[in-house]
Structure 1
Amino acid sequence: MPDKKIIKKYAYDLIGYVGSFLVRDRLSASAEENGFMLRLDNLDNSALESIINAVYISNPIDGNADINILIPENLAINLNIPVECITKENSAGIRNLNVDDNRPILTATNETQLSDTMGNISSISRDDLKKANINIWLEACRSICKLNLVEADEQILSAALRALLKANSELSLSDFANFCSSICYYSNSNNEGLNIRRAVGASLPRIRLPKDIDYFDNQRFTKSITNWVKYFTKLKARERIFTRQDTYGRIFEREFLRANLNECLQNGIHFEEEVLDVINAYIDAADNDYSKSTDLFECDWEKDNIKKIFDVVKEKQTGLGDETQIHFTTEFEHNEVNQLTPEEVDFLKKLNGKIDKDDIPEIREFFARHKHDLYLRPTLYKRWEKIVFDHKVECSDFYQGLIKLFTNNIASCAQSEDGFYIEITVSGAKRNWLDKNYDVARFFSLMYKPLFVRLNNSGLVKIKHAFKNVDSCASPLTDYVDFFDGENNLKRESGDSKLARSKSKSKENRVIKFDVRVKNTDGSNADTSQFQLFWTTDLDVIGLELYDDLKRIADNGENPLLTTTVYRQPIDKKGGIHSVSLEDITTLDLKSSEGRGRLLSKSSDEVNLSIQLKDYIENLNSLTPIKEQLLDALDCFERSYKECIEEFLANGLNYDLAVRQASLFAKLLDLCTPGNFNAISEMESVLSLLLKVGTVDIANENIKIVAPWHPERLKSLAIRQQRVINYCINLVANSTEFIEKNLFNKACADEFSATISPEILYSEKDNANLLLSTSSVNGYSLYEEPVDLSLSKKFYTDSNVEKAAQEIEEFIISYLMLYPHLKSNLNIVLYENNIADLSYLLVSRLAEADDLADVKLNLTIMNSQYEKLDLTYRDLLNRIDKTQFELANREKNDVFLSNLRIALLRPESLKKDIDNIKPYDICILYDSFSTHAEVCWKKSSVNSKIPMTP
């Protein structure tokens, strides 16, 4: 057994040496200051006494200056320090003490709320001492404990001490000092004479861990702290034994430990008599008697077979099914409501081995039913999460994919405590990047560069490439054009042929893959899971030529405001008639030879709005009140707009520039009020030109496209980008836990995909019609006019009811996740519905949904107009046989169909005498998803005081 008194004495001598060094260092740095005061804060008596005596002995400091050591009398009662170091002043009095000779003052306090509001006061705390440079502690060990090590062993000891502080930030100053002192004791040839690695293992009891001499006796533990931190962290699992707790935080049962000891003895495991006495004393000790734990920890974990006693309660990665059953058995032993059914118990037995992909749907159902119960044990909950939520995320909108990945997977692995970061590795060698479709890679780099730069600069996310020598070239992820041109130049210099821009249509060359891991700051994995994010796009989607369109604007000199007109391609390749779609640029007749998706080009019907605006304003009547203001405002806006576009091309969309140019655009519109012009026609002419900026007309159609270079759309994209970046950083920086991730993801998808800023479009037609945004892709929005019911004799249109049925199904599933008790009787009404197809499709989708198999559903179709209700009823009767045949032949739908009730009602048929009773759980208004509308314009007077800001 080690001599604990010697170890403890040397420990406080070490604190005194380190404290004295810090005092000398602080006072030397402040030698020029008069009246400087240094305070020792909240140290225990032994530490304070050691530091004061060490400083007193070394007085005068550096041989040229004395210091006043003034320790309040109330603190010095139990201290063995020189009398001349004690004063009757209290801590507050010393702070305001005037010393004639201007010598620096060293004092102490135990007042935790005393703050340093005076510039001449500095303090030394326990953390300052513990986290002092490790070289100071090593020097103290050499001086106090006569530690004599070769340079290699000193480096190993330095790594071990730094790793301990990193792995256990809550370690106390006295424990750390005792640990250092113990290492010196065991390595001393007069005592044990152990090598430095074994001395570290022997000293573990000083930091409340079982002694394990051979634990670090391996060549993997060098001057690098990586393995030291990893294994010190693993050792923390043994700390619970000191407080007599198992892996679940429960106090050990003595009978259990006794039975385990007897089993070890029966199996022939040998214990020395002294060790056996210590083990018996530990087992029989009171729950709060930790002295027996201290004695137990002095026995060697391996050599004395202490670990055999705790093998049964050692935390193992048991099968998911077994661990789940144990959780329900222990947590809900007396709660019948939360008990598992026999079918669920049989299902859990299948999860102990390798999980089959066919079991995933059933696993998700179980998780949905019991996630609130599983949440009571976080480690088990996370194991279920890793199976339920896909580790592979595919997306065409990178923002949406990143948000889904961070919410579903990263948030459950990354914690708020220091030491974690997210590593995102971009897959693909240089050759792979050069083979990627040029337009696809260039578009991704243009749109998402600020996202990667900001995340990388945050320190919480690190972006790296899979190929070597990435620093020797531009990053293909954020500067694809420079990367490609750089490689091209290298080819030319070496005499090789010029690189051709890839036009490959293969999926491999249209996909950008990211591998995502949660890492410790030392580079080790904080979580074993690896996640993958795949971004891909279709070559026919609009936007891949955005770079060229923006360059066209930037190269237009002092006249950057452009608009253009394109034609609809009415007939597809197969001779069918189709309408304009942003998902398919072949629906537009783009004749440009410079790029198949370019909207702005020399060969297009491009109009320079800058020139037209300046000419028109300059030719206004000289009596127009704000002629000069308009020209100045236009000039300011144009310069800011061009700067924003140029920055967009060079470094990605800049938030500040985008918001600034939108603000100047708004000020320009604010000037366009009737009171500022001699005639309304003048104001309309200026407005008509301004509101065309960033828009694309479809010739001969009342259809418009809002492009990403629209002033307000630039701001909208910048705001969305900023919100996604802040969301990801906050999610990693703060410990965030979600109960309903699916609902949160859907809300996030809706929130981040919505257009943030309003836009005003101008129409030159005599009868102006309302335009609605029908789709948005890659920052482009398509605006069309709705179908006018007044021009149609039909009561229903050819609207896409499949999408409507899908949205209703998703809403119902989400609603039942929050209110599962409604499954026994769910009442839904489709209000003002007149499309029979919607009813068929909705019933079919609900019947196929696994989450709704046991739902008793009452579906009511309601319409206030008798004619429409009658038409829907006739359609239902005409098709009911077919619907029954289709659904009845699906075996899985039997239960759902037997619980299904469909009714058609008029609102007035509801009972009026029922108060405070809601007859329906969900009411869905048909207008919320219809594609038709009745347009009604109302006259109103023009108020010249109301600005025309969009």
Structure 2
Amino acid sequence: MTFGEETRLLFDKKFPKTLRTEDIELLDDLKSDASRPKEAYDKFFSDHREKLRVDPKLYRRWEKLVFRKPIETADLAEGLLRLVERARPDSEEDKDKVLLVRLEDSDDLDFWTKEKNTKLCRVLRDRWRGLDELVGPDVRLEFGRCWSENWEAQIPAGVGEVDIDGQGCGPVLLQGVRRASCDAGGWLGGGRDRESPPRANDLDSAAGAMITAFPLDLEVLAPGQEPVPLLTARVSANRYDRHGSIQAVDLAKVTTIIDVEGASDGRLADPRKRQNRVDENWRDCLDQAVANNIVEESDATTLRAAFDTFQAEYTRAIRAMKEGRGLADDALLMQAQRYGELFRALASKARASVCVRDLWAPLLTIGAASLDGFRPGVIVTPWHPLRLAEIAVKARHLADGIRRVINSSASLAAEVPEYVDNLCQVLSRTYYADVGAAPGTPNVFVAETRQVADVSLLEPQAYGSEEGLADEPAEETVAAFERVVKEYLDLRPHEKASFSTVVMDAESEDLPVLMAESMARRIDGDPTLRCDLVLTHENVGSLRRIYERQNRRIGYEVDASLTSEAARNFLSRLRVAIVNQALLDQVGPKGHDIVVLQDVIARRAEVKWTRATGVGTSDMLTHMPTAHSRRKPSTRATQRREVI
């Protein structure tokens, strides 16, 4: 029975006399759900969508036919861009139409209060507030009750929040629909509807991330009408998980950090502690500098005015994110301008070294949390002055990119995918506040090592001669390893019987464990594969640390990653060895298949500063700090040739 015949059978049983002659002819010619998508299929699916839902299996097959492969991404901005790329008009005649992006089932109160993860619904509401205003009039966002009412107040008291383990861990489904153009009076129906829904946000990957505490911090920062306090924080790393194994700080897991409340909820705003109040402490330090004749009273008046102006604009920005125009409010940009003006005032009125320590340095800690752990670090929050400006600028870059894609001519259709890929890459990287100073004597230079959503982890780029491993990110290294392994075993399948990998000079606590998990998953899916994982390091102290800390952890994590009982019974197919490098030479010329060298800089180096000359400033609204140089464009082919 063909796919069309199965569909006709459903209508004959459930909805007789519903199909028109043209519908019957269409279904008679429809052989498979893998057929080439056509506008006629789109129209049939749009007209009879609710009836097809009666048979979920058949409905999913129609989704496969009409929607093709769904777009899966953990970044809403990337999901919107790729959705727009897919749903862009095919001809110049469609240029008078707009794109309707609809969040499925978001008009239903249960969507927000019972079905989806409460923390993630808050993030969607507060982090992306105002995006609908920025992307118009070419795009209209229909996110139901998201910004139109206080749905959080309607969560049943007895039920509480839908947590990470609840049913709210499913994907959010966005639908892009081409509709007829609209005027000031509203939207006109009719016209061709072309739906192309991606899965725009993978909730499983973000449900336990630090970004979920952003709405909670907003509530603390702006509970009433008084000025928003300028806060810093001090938190600590939670070095051991619930099983007693060592864990690295991971911004995707709030459980790896002990927050300002002494819990693991990711909260970083606490105005109750005096040491966190940068605004109050800064004013006291300025008064003390005047009393000690370090700063003139007239200069102090200028500095107080600049400080008050910045705090007032910062207050407007925080309130805009909490309950106002959000990303569309210019206050997010203006507060960054006032932040810079405050530093320029300090540069001219308070240049003494004691002023740098007491007046300059505290301002840099606003919206940042010092991290106590194996290494000093700093967590940059979404409410950092520069990070607030960054999310506002990125939102405008996103809106501009969406308009460019929608309004691009048919002659540029071949260039649109590359443009979207480049813009997604640019927006995924940090614009500002990716370097800083961690508290110490002297202060320690730190730079971004991890970034999840709008939260960054800054750590030292060098840590001297101390033996041991750091919290170096390892996910990209493992992803690259998996690509190479797949290609290698496809070319040399006979090596599956004794596949061996060496990890040399790892600089990450997580790398050995993630490598073992990766190989365990591959063994779980391939019964013919047997693997050896050899861990070694040129530094004997680091090797000893690997053995002490990783031995138990690898065993536990590998056992947890195996899904089948049969795989657990054949753990001998994955052998993990921690050996001295001198023993590797005894194996022979070809003792191992792949050698992994983690892509990190020399962590034993020294940090030195040089004065930069000829450095200018760029317009914040147009500058993309993470974009490739336009004077020397690089294509995929050239990048492949450069990677060794």
Question: In which range does the TM-score fall when normalised by the shorter chain?
Answer: 0.5 to 0.7
For residues 475 and 452 of structure 2, the distance between their equivalents in structure 1, rounded to whole angstroms, comes to 20
1:461 is matched with 139
Give the direction of change, closer, same or farther, for the CA distance of 1:461–1:507 in structure 2 (3 Å limit): farther
Q: 1:411 aligns with which of 75, 88, 91?
A: 88
Q: Deviations over 1:417-462 (max 9, x none)?
A: 444222222222222322133222111111112112333x41x323
1:784 is matched with 459
Q: Deviations over 1:117-165 (max 9, x none)?
A: xxxxxxxxxxxxxxxxxxxxxxxxxxxxxxxxxxxxxxxxxxxxxxxxx
2:491 is matched with none
1:779 Cα deviation from its structure 2 partner = 1.0
2:389 is matched with 715
Pairing 1:734–2:405 present: no
Which structure ranks higher in relative contact order (CA pairs < 8 Å, sequence separation ≥ 6)? 2
**1:210-221 equivalent positions in 2, closer than 5 A:** none
Q: 1:570 aligns with which of 216, 223, 239?
A: 239
2:18 is matched with none
**1:412-561 equivalent positions in 2, closer than 5 A:** 413=90, 417-428=94-105, 429-435=108-114, 436-455=116-135, 457-458=136-137, 460-464=138-142, 475-479=144-148, 482-485=150-153, 487=154, 500-506=159-165, 508-511=167-170, 512-521=172-181, 523-524=189-190, 526=192, 528-535=194-201, 536-537=203-204, 538-555=206-223, 557-558=226-227, 560-561=229-230
Report SS of the residue matched to 1:545.
Answer: helix
Structure 2 alignment gaps of length 5 or more? 1-21, 37-63, 182-187, 487-503, 523-579, 626-644
For residues 67 and 591 of structure 2, the distance between their equivalents in structure 1, rounded to whole angstroms, comes to 38
For residues 676 and 726 of structure 1, the distance between their equivalents in structure 2, rounded to whole angstroms, comes to 40
1:175 is matched with none
CA contact (8 A) 1:835 1:872 kept: no
For residues 873 and 940 of structure 1, the distance between their equivalents in structure 2, rounded to whole angstroms, comes to 40
Code of the aligned partner of 2:134: R
Give the direction of change, closer, same or farther, for the CA distance of 1:704–1:619 in structure 2 (3 Å limit): same
For residues 160 and 92 of structure 2, the distance between their equivalents in structure 1, rounded to whole angstroms, comes to 43
For residues 631 and 757 of structure 1, the distance between their equivalents in structure 2, rounded to whole angstroms, comes to 26
For residues 218 and 70 of structure 2, the distance between their equivalents in structure 1, rounded to whole angstroms, comes to 34
For residues 471 and 239 of structure 2, the distance between their equivalents in structure 1, rounded to whole angstroms, comes to 19
Give the direction of change, closer, same or farther, for the CA distance of 1:593–1:804 in structure 2 (3 Å limit): closer
For residues 67 and 101 of structure 2, the distance between their equivalents in structure 1, rounded to whole angstroms, comes to 19
**1:116-515 equivalent positions in 2, closer than 5 A:** 353-355=32-34, 390-407=68-85, 409-411=86-88, 413=90, 417-428=94-105, 429-435=108-114, 436-455=116-135, 457-458=136-137, 460-464=138-142, 475-479=144-148, 482-485=150-153, 487=154, 500-506=159-165, 508-511=167-170, 512-515=172-175
Q: Deviations over 1:565-605 (max 9, x none)?
A: 11221211000111211111111123638993322236778
Give the direction of change, closer, same or farther, for the CA distance of 1:881–1:416 in structure 2 (3 Å limit): farther
For residues 592 and 414 of structure 2, the distance between their equivalents in structure 1, rounded to whole angstroms, comes to 38
1:933 Cα deviation from its structure 2 partner = 2.9
For residues 764 and 800 of structure 1, the distance between their equivalents in structure 2, rounded to whole angstroms, comes to 22
Code of the aligned partner of 2:368: T
Give the direction of change, closer, same or farther, for the CA distance of 1:478–1:932 in structure 2 (3 Å limit): farther
Pairing 1:686–2:366 present: no
For residues 441 and 268 of structure 2, the distance between their equivalents in structure 1, rounded to whole angstroms, comes to 26
For residues 415 and 499 of structure 1, the distance between their equivalents in structure 2, rounded to whole angstroms, comes to 54
For residues 74 and 140 of structure 2, the distance between their equivalents in structure 1, rounded to whole angstroms, comes to 22
Q: 2:311 aligns with which of 625, 628, 638?
A: 638
Pairing 1:748–2:423 present: yes
Give the direction of change, closer, same or farther, for the CA distance of 1:778–1:938 in structure 2 (3 Å limit): closer
Give the direction of change, closer, same or farther, for the CA distance of 1:678–1:563 in structure 2 (3 Å limit): closer
Give the direction of change, closer, same or farther, for the CA distance of 1:802–1:542 in structure 2 (3 Å limit): closer
**1:711-860 equivalent positions in 2, closer than 5 A:** 711-735=385-409, 737-739=412-414, 743-758=418-433, 761-788=436-463, 790-791=465-466, 803-804=476-477, 806-807=479-480
**1:23-38 equivalent positions in 2, closer than 5 A:** none
**1:42-81 equivalent positions in 2, closer than 5 A:** none
1:638 Cα deviation from its structure 2 partner = 0.7
Please give the TM-score of this superposition, normalised by the length of structure 2: 0.61
For residues 256 and 588 of structure 2, the distance between their equivalents in structure 1, rounded to whole angstroms, comes to 35
1:677 Cα deviation from its structure 2 partner = 3.5
Report SS of the residue matched to 2:145.
Answer: coil
For residues 942 and 743 of structure 1, the distance between their equivalents in structure 2, rounded to whole angstroms, comes to 34
For residues 163 and 611 of structure 2, the distance between their equivalents in structure 1, rounded to whole angstroms, comes to 57
Give the direction of change, closer, same or farther, for the CA distance of 1:745–1:941 in structure 2 (3 Å limit): closer
Code of the aligned partner of 2:354: S
Code of the aligned partner of 1:532: P
RMSD of aligned alpha carbons: 4.6
Report SS of the residue matched to 1:446.
Answer: helix
Report SS of the residue matched to 2:361.
Answer: helix
Report SS of the residue matched to 1:772.
Answer: strand
CA contact (8 A) 1:437 1:505 kept: yes
1:656 is matched with 330
For residues 118 and 471 of structure 2, the distance between their equivalents in structure 1, rounded to whole angstroms, comes to 39
For residues 414 and 245 of structure 2, the distance between their equivalents in structure 1, rounded to whole angstroms, comes to 48
Give the direction of change, closer, same or farther, for the CA distance of 1:649–1:739 in structure 2 (3 Å limit): same
For residues 772 and 678 of structure 1, the distance between their equivalents in structure 2, rounded to whole angstroms, comes to 25
For residues 456 and 610 of structure 2, the distance between their equivalents in structure 1, rounded to whole angstroms, comes to 29
1:378 is matched with none
For residues 581 and 192 of structure 2, the distance between their equivalents in structure 1, rounded to whole angstroms, comes to 59
Give the direction of change, closer, same or farther, for the CA distance of 1:529–1:439 in structure 2 (3 Å limit): closer
CA contact (8 A) 2:405 2:416 kept: no
Give the direction of change, closer, same or farther, for the CA distance of 1:479–1:579 in structure 2 (3 Å limit): farther
| Further displaced range: 614-623 or 577-586 | 614-623
Q: 2:253 aligns with which of 562, 565, 584?
A: 584
Report SS of the residue matched to 1:562.
Answer: coil
CA contact (8 A) 2:434 2:448 kept: no
CA contact (8 A) 1:448 1:478 kept: no
Pairing 1:607–2:276 present: yes
* Count of residue pairs the alignment pairs up: 464
1:743 Cα deviation from its structure 2 partner = 4.9
Q: Identity, % of aligned pairs?
A: 17
For residues 259 and 439 of structure 2, the distance between their equivalents in structure 1, rounded to whole angstroms, comes to 23
1:714 Cα deviation from its structure 2 partner = 0.6
Report SS of the residue matched to 1:509.
Answer: helix
For residues 611 and 97 of structure 2, the distance between their equivalents in structure 1, rounded to whole angstroms, comes to 61
CA contact (8 A) 1:705 1:783 kept: yes
Code of the aligned partner of 1:424: V
CA contact (8 A) 2:450 2:473 kept: no
Give the direction of change, closer, same or farther, for the CA distance of 1:414–1:724 in structure 2 (3 Å limit): farther
CA contact (8 A) 1:624 1:678 kept: no
For residues 398 and 405 of structure 1, the distance between their equivalents in structure 2, rounded to whole angstroms, comes to 10
Q: Deviations over 1:867-918 (max 9, x none)?
A: xxxx99985884876655xxxxxxxxxxxxxxxxx9x9xxxxxxxxxxxxxx
CA contact (8 A) 1:592 1:604 kept: no
Report SS of the residue matched to 2:370.
Answer: strand
CA contact (8 A) 2:97 2:178 kept: yes
Code of the aligned partner of 1:615: D
For residues 239 and 476 of structure 2, the distance between their equivalents in structure 1, rounded to whole angstroms, comes to 24
1:740 Cα deviation from its structure 2 partner = 6.6
For residues 317 and 879 of structure 1, the distance between their equivalents in structure 2, rounded to whole angstroms, comes to 66
